[in-house]
């Protein structure tokens, strides 16, 4: 008897390679997955201008950065945006200014698609073999009310579907939202606030992502990197001892050898 439902993940048309240089932009969920790649010594860039929750702000980050990744990972958190009353422009951060200075607005499905299409086109101009992984953050927004949060997520899910239809060879949808809501349908997979996924949940999503997106060579790289990562994380009783300094020197040498072997 099976006591949980497993989310089916469509096989992508590409693989993430060992030490792939990637760009992560989006909500705090993108931050957590991006940091997980950094732990495995991938040379990734994560939210270079801070966390961005909506498609318009994600576009602003991509336009400001000069990164030209082969793989971009975009996580959508909400379709709510804030416009400055004086100019009408969408701001990425209200910077704790008085609420009266802003107008809150919900982007339509088509508006979300328009902003995201510009993201794809901008990155594609920098690198023509671009691949984009889209996710919708599983983190609910209590300030909108849980029904309002679901409406926002539904808008984003429909927008990602349309974008994937427009760019079928480029855009791939990874169901992080569905994995948390269906496979991990238990509050033990959440932090104390009962809203943000726990470290265990993020690790499980990482494993599902690796299972479907990583090339065979990437899995081999991770197996070789694991003991080096654990050695570098070791905290000795006496860090100034000659033995420990020699241990670190040899470990760093091994890390450089692995980096060189797997860097494209």
> What b/e readout covers 197-208, taking b as 16+ CB neighbours within 10 angstroms?
beeebbebbbeb
pLDDT value of residue 196: 86
Residue 259, Cβ neighbours under 10 Å: how many? 16
Over range 143-154, report the average pLDDT: 90
According to DSSP, the β-strands at 102-106 and 80-84 are: antiparallel
Spell out the SS3 assignment of the chain. CCCCCCCCCCCCCCCECCCCCEEEEECHHHHHHHHHHHHCCCCCEECCCCCCCCHHHHHHHHHHCCCCCCEEEEEECCCEEEEECCCCCEECCCCCCCHHHEEEEECCHHHHHHHHHHHHHHHHHHCCCCEEEEEECCCCCHHHCHHHHHHHHHHHHHHHHHHHHHCCCCEEECCHHHHHHHHCCCHHHECCCCCCECHHHHHHHHHHHHHHHECHHHHHHHHHHHHHHHHHHCCCCCCCCHHHHHHHHHHHHHHHHHHHHHCC
| Single pTM value for the model | 0.93
**Cβ neighbourhood burial of 45 (10 Å; 0-12, 13-18, 19+):** middle
- Greatest mean pLDDT among 25-39, 137-151, 222-236 lies in 25-39
- Greatest mean pLDDT among 124-133, 134-143, 188-197, 246-255 lies in 124-133
Q: What whole-number percentage of the chain has pLDDT above 90?
A: 74
56-79 residue pLDDT tens: 999 999 999 999 999 999 999 999
Contacting residues for 159 by C-beta, under 8 A, at least 6 apart: 55, 76, 79, 109, 112, 113, 116
Cβ proximity of 25 and 52 under 8 Å:
yes
| Residue of 13, 47, 54, 50 whose CA lies nearest to 33 | 47
Lowest mean pLDDT segment, chosen from 29-38, 92-101, 164-173, 192-201: 92-101
Beta bridge partner(s), residue 80: 106
Q: What whole-number percentage of the chain has pLDDT above 70?
A: 99
194-215 residue pLDDT tens: 888 999 999 999 999 999 999 9
Over range 242-258, report the average pLDDT: 88
156-185 residue pLDDT tens: 999 999 999 999 999 999 999 999 999 998
The span from the CA of 197 to the CA of 209, in Å, is 16
Bigger pLDDT: 1 vs 101: 101
Contacting residues for 17 by C-beta, under 8 A, at least 6 apart: 215, 217, 218, 264
Beta bridge partner(s), residue 106: 80
The span from the CA of 171 to the CA of 13, in Å, is 9
- Average pLDDT over all residues of the chain: 93
Q: Name the band, by pLDDT with cuts 50, 70 and 90, for residue 264.
A: low
Over range 138-160, report the average pLDDT: 92
Lowest mean pLDDT segment, chosen from 6-20, 145-159, 182-196: 182-196
Q: Name the band, by pLDDT with cuts 50, 70 and 90, for residue 132.
A: very high
């Amino acid at each position: 008897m099976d006591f949980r439902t497993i989310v089916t993940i469509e096989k992508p048309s590409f693989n993430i390679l060992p030490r792939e240089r990637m760009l992560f932009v989006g909500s705090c969920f993108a931050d957590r997955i991006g940091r997980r790649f950094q732990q495995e010594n991938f040379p990734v860039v994560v939210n270079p201008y801070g966390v961005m929750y909506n498609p318009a702000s994600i576009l602003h980050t991509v336009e400001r950065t000069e990164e030209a990744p082969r793989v971009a990972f975009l996580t959508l958190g909400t379709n709510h945006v804030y416009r400055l009353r004086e100019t009408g422009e969408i701001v990425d951060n209200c910077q704790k200014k008085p609420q009266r200075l802003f107008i809150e607005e919900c982007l339509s499905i088509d508006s979300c698609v328009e902003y995201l299409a510009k993201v794809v086109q901008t990155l594609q101009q920098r690198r023509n073999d671009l691949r984009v992984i889209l996710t919708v953050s599983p983190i609910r927004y209590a300030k909108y009310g849980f029904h309002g949060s679901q409406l926002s997520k539904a808008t984003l899910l429909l927008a990602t579907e349309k974008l994937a239809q427009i760019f079928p060879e480029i855009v791939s949808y990874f169901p992080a939202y569905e994995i948390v809501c269906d496979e991990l349908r238990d509050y033990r997979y959440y932090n104390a606030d009962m809203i943000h996924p726990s470290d265990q949940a993020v690790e499980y999503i990482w494993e599902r992502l690796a299972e479907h997106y990583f090339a065979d060579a990437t899995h081999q790289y991770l197996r070789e990197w694991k003991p080096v990562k654990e050695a570098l994380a070791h905290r000795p009783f006496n860090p100034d001892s000659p033995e420990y300094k020699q241990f670190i020197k040899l470990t760093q040498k091994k890390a450089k050898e692995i980096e060189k072997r797997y860097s494209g």
